[in-house]
Structure 1
């Protein structure tokens, strides 16, 4: 699978050197831009990839480009490359979602290793985003009452407790539970939990933590006994 790396630097010599280096890497395409404006003009149209971004450029600097990239969440893994890096600016860049901060001149092996790591990280994040989108679409197929039952399951309630909370019979809860599992195309409660967590649902309406998700993935039917 071809990986795309973007270079934004106003120094033509740097762009030529990077092109000569990265073009030699297997399954890698490099597209370079002489200004932040030129890159942002096409950022919405190009493929996802790793962005090597110079921090110090005339007119639109790297920090401004980073702020503009908030319009494309999860699309780029950004590596800030600068010859005038300072700790405060590095921290500011990291807060804006930068994967790593490299100072010119950067050793070749370090640069290549960091680009590879950024591509791997981006692939994982995009896979997670795709999974979340799919999970949300699955949850959207549920009726309002099926969602109510699902929230009860997420809160660890037994069928009889969900029935009491919703003022319906336990048998009706069983029917809604079977229906929602059919719509989600799963056969077990842990599988239901995985989809709900991936869609952003969690007990009490809170955002799930990584440790909560890993626990559900191992199977915790005891959270909602029948």
Structure 2
């Protein structure tokens, strides 16, 4: 992920604050997009990597509710909570829900810029992990039903003979299926196959 592709998404119902954040962040190498509500962001988000500056207190969908919706939709943007006076307990709850950090208004611009850089580094990591997960899932989809059955039994520690008895096939056939599983999943060892299996959404 390059800086030119990474976007800072600002979600805040205060137009003046959005404008000031947009102006501040235009000094960075990142794209900047702002939204007046959580719903507008959800309607327009297209899967790009980046981070989010999120107001915790907003009408309709507040910051905590948006975090929940992002989890449900597998949107893995690192979130920095922006909070006003009196909203610190909400900001703490947002941290418990996975926010990276929170800032209380008014805050120092340099502190925000440092946090955005930190969030972007985390975003790059999450984006790579998400791509790897997608590729892994696609490899799994190439397995036949029988190959998936063999894989399930292999990763739980069954020998070829035990798998053959369980599935009612010959050990030689198990060996062929097992070899195909390793090849299709691009696994170089049994340990790697076990690790891959643990990351799959079955």
TM-score (norm 1): 0.74
Map residues 206-221 of structure 1 onto 2, 5 A cutoff.
none
Whether contact under 8 Å (1:36, 1:61) holds in the other structure is yes
Whether contact under 8 Å (2:80, 2:100) holds in the other structure is yes
2:122 is aligned to: 121
Q: How far apart, CA to CA, are the structure 2 residues paired with 1:90 and 1:160? A: 56
2:175 is aligned to: 174
Whether contact under 8 Å (1:74, 1:125) holds in the other structure is no
Whether contact under 8 Å (1:135, 1:196) holds in the other structure is no
SS of the aligned residue for 1:76 comes to: coil
2:7 is aligned to: 4
1:165 is aligned to: 166
The ranges of structure 1 where at least 4 consecutive aligned residues each deviate by more than 4 angstroms after the TM superposition are: none
Q: Write the deviation string for residues 4-38 of structure 1: whole angstroms up to 9, x where unpaired.
A: 10112233332233223211112x11122334444
- Number of corresponding residues: 199
SS of the aligned residue for 2:75 comes to: coil
Q: 1:47 to 1:129 in 2, by over 3 A?
A: closer
Q: Kindly indicate whether residue 51 of structure 2 is the aligned counterpart of residue 50 of structure 1.
A: yes
Map residues 43-122 of structure 1 onto 2, 5 A cutoff.
43=45, 45=46, 47-58=48-59, 60-122=61-123
Q: 1:176 to 1:167 in 2, by over 3 A?
A: same
Gaps of 5+ in 2: none
Q: 1:70 to 1:161 in 2, by over 3 A?
A: closer
Whether contact under 8 Å (1:132, 1:199) holds in the other structure is yes
Q: Kindly indicate whether residue 32 of structure 2 is the aligned counterpart of residue 30 of structure 1.
A: yes
Q: How far apart, CA to CA, are the structure 1 residues paired with 2:93 and 2:22? A: 28
Whether contact under 8 Å (2:7, 2:49) holds in the other structure is yes
Q: How far apart, CA to CA, are the structure 2 residues paired with 1:188 and 1:71? A: 33
2:41 is aligned to: 39
Cα root mean square deviation, aligned: 2.6
Q: How far apart, CA to CA, are the structure 1 residues paired with 2:145 and 2:60? A: 51
Aligned equivalent of 1:14, options 6, 13, 17: 17
Q: Write the deviation string for residues 89-122 of structure 1: whole angstroms up to 9, x where unpaired.
A: 1233234432222211222332122212222222
1:135 is aligned to: 136
TM-score (norm 2): 0.81
Q: How far apart, CA to CA, are the structure 2 residues paired with 1:158 and 1:6? A: 51
